[in-house]
Every structure is written in C-alpha cells, then in structure tokens.
C-alpha cells in the first residue's frame, strides 16, 4: 500500500505551467494531466488545497504604463479564470471541489473563509484558492505561503515548468546546477527566482518547507507526496 508522507498540502500551480509550450492561455492536455495528478494523490487520502497563478493570462508587474494596483487586480481576476478551469477539470475526474476567492464574487465561487476551507478539506473536497491574497503588490506564491500557514498545511508543493531550483536559469545556461535542498535564506540572498522574497520569508518565519518540482512529467505530484526526492526542497537548516 502506498503511504503518503503528508496529510495536508498546498499545491501551487503557476499560470505558466497551465500554458505549457504555448506560453499563453490554458493548454487543455496539460490541464487534464494536472487534474489527473491531483486526483491520484486525492485517492491516497491527502487533503489538497490548490493555489493557482495567473501569469499565463496577465501579470501586474509586466504592465508598462498602467496603474500598478489596477494591473494587479487584473492579475487576480486572471487567477479566477484558471481556478474555474481547474475546478472543471477536477470535477471531470470525479473529485468534489470548491473554489474560494479572496475577492468576493459569490455568484461564481465562495468567498475565502479559513474555517470553511479546512472543513471542505476534512470532508475530502479539493479546495482551490483564487484571486491571490486579494491585495495588489503580492503574488500567488505569497498566497500559497499565507494559505499554507492559515490552514496548517505541512508543505507547499511548488509545481513549475522547471524541475527544481538551479544556481542560474537552466533555460539560458546549460551548465546550471540543480540544488537537492537549499536554505530559505540562501534563496533570498542569492536572489534565486524560485519564489519572490515575500513568499520565501513567510515560509521561513513559519517553518513551512517548499518542494519545487516539474509538473510536466505525469505522476510527479504523487512522487513528491510519497516522499521521493525529485526537485528541490527549500527549508531551514
């Protein structure tokens, strides 16, 4: 019998991961593969809360002349589009799901209520957190750190296009070295692009480990949940 090493996790899926090679929008094959991978770990009895990004549709910091807060609200709305797509894909796999948004839009999803989210997880529902933290100038990585602390998740699974944390960008440097594990403070001090510093500090202050791994290989979420050393673990020393 396969035994998961975690009971409750926050899975962060970046918008980039949803776009696949197209770089924009939602690739339906990838969406389906991610939903399949989530359903595999759900069957092991793991409580899965998901934070989705929005970078495949809109990123506030990339808007040139627009008011930054407005651009960030647009980014938060982009995460809601991804959340609904993911909800649909998960329900096609037979999972019970709830989307909770940090900005109220109660015609399409529940508002974020911490105790309710925990209750859903206990009842075996996958909970998708959308609209980030609800505040401009933050990221969905920070949302993952915040929600993980709030719902007392044991770990953040940071699903990326890249398969771990490298000392330089592996897309640009073919001799980039992958870390098996790295301290939070080194991620911050070396300015490694794995997570923004706000998110990394929040995890550091609350001792929440982060596992960075590649989502494009089917079965990887389950491998991480079963304790296989793929990707990079970010934690304190």
Residue ranges that bind ligand UDP, judged by CB under 6 A: 14-16, 53-55, 59-61, 72, 75-76, 78-79, 132-133, 135-136, 138-141, 143
Minimum distance from CB of 223 to ligand UDP (Å)?
22
Minimum distance from CB of 100 to ligand UDP (Å)?
14
- Measured between alpha carbons, how far is 78 from 116 in angstroms, rounded to an integer? 24
Minimum distance from CB of 229 to ligand UDP (Å)?
24
**Looking at beta carbons only, is 124 or 193 nearer to ligand UDP?**
193
Strands 232-235 and 210-214: what pairing? antiparallel
**Looking at beta carbons only, is 14 or 220 nearer to ligand UDP?**
14
Say which residues have a Cβ less than 8 Å from residue 112's Cβ, sequence separation at least 6. Answer: 100, 101, 102, 129, 131, 134
Count the alpha carbons within 13 Å of 234 in the hemisphere toward its beta carbon: 32
Say which residues have a Cβ less than 8 Å from residue 187's Cβ, sequence separation at least 6. Answer: 165, 194, 195, 200, 234
**Looking at beta carbons only, is 5 or 66 nearer to ligand UDP?**
66
- Least Cα distance to 82 among 49, 58, 115, 113 occurs for 58
- The CB-nearest residue to ligand UDP is 53
**Looking at beta carbons only, is 175 or 196 nearer to ligand UDP?**
196
**Looking at beta carbons only, is 136 or 177 nearer to ligand UDP?**
136
Minimum distance from CB of 94 to ligand UDP (Å)?
27
Minimum distance from CB of 38 to ligand UDP (Å)?
17
- Least Cα distance to 154 among 231, 79, 227, 228 occurs for 227
């Amino acid at each position: 019998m396969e035994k998961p090493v975690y009971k409750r996790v926050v899975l962060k899926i970046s918008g980039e991961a949803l776009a696949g090679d197209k770089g924009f929008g939602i690739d339906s094959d990838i969406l389906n593969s991610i939903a399949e991978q989530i359903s595999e770990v759900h069957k092991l009895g793991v409580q899965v809360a998901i934070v989705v990004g929005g970078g495949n549709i809109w990123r506030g910091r990339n808007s040139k002349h627009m008011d930054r807060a407005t651009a960030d609200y647009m980014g938060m709305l982009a995460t809601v589009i991804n959340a609904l797509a993911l909800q649909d894909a998960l329900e096609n796999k037979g999972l019970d799901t709830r989307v909770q948004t940090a900005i109220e839009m109660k015609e399409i999803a529940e508002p974020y209520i911490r105790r309710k989210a925990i209750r859903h997880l206990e009842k075996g529902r996958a909970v998708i957190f959308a609209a980030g933290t609800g505040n401009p100038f933050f990221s969905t990585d920070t949302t993952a750190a915040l929600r993980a602390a709030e719902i007392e998740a044991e770990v953040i699974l940071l699903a990326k296009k890249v398969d771990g944390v490298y000392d330089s960008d592996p897309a640009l440097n073919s001799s980039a070295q992958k870390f098996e594990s790295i301290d939070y403070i080194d991620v911050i001090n070396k300015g490694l692009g794995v997570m923004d510093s706000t998110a990394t500090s929040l995890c550091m202050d609350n001792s929440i480990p982060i596992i960075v791994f590649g989502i494009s290989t089917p079965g990887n979420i389950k491998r991480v949940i079963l304790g296989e050393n793929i990707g990079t673990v970010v934690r304190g020393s």
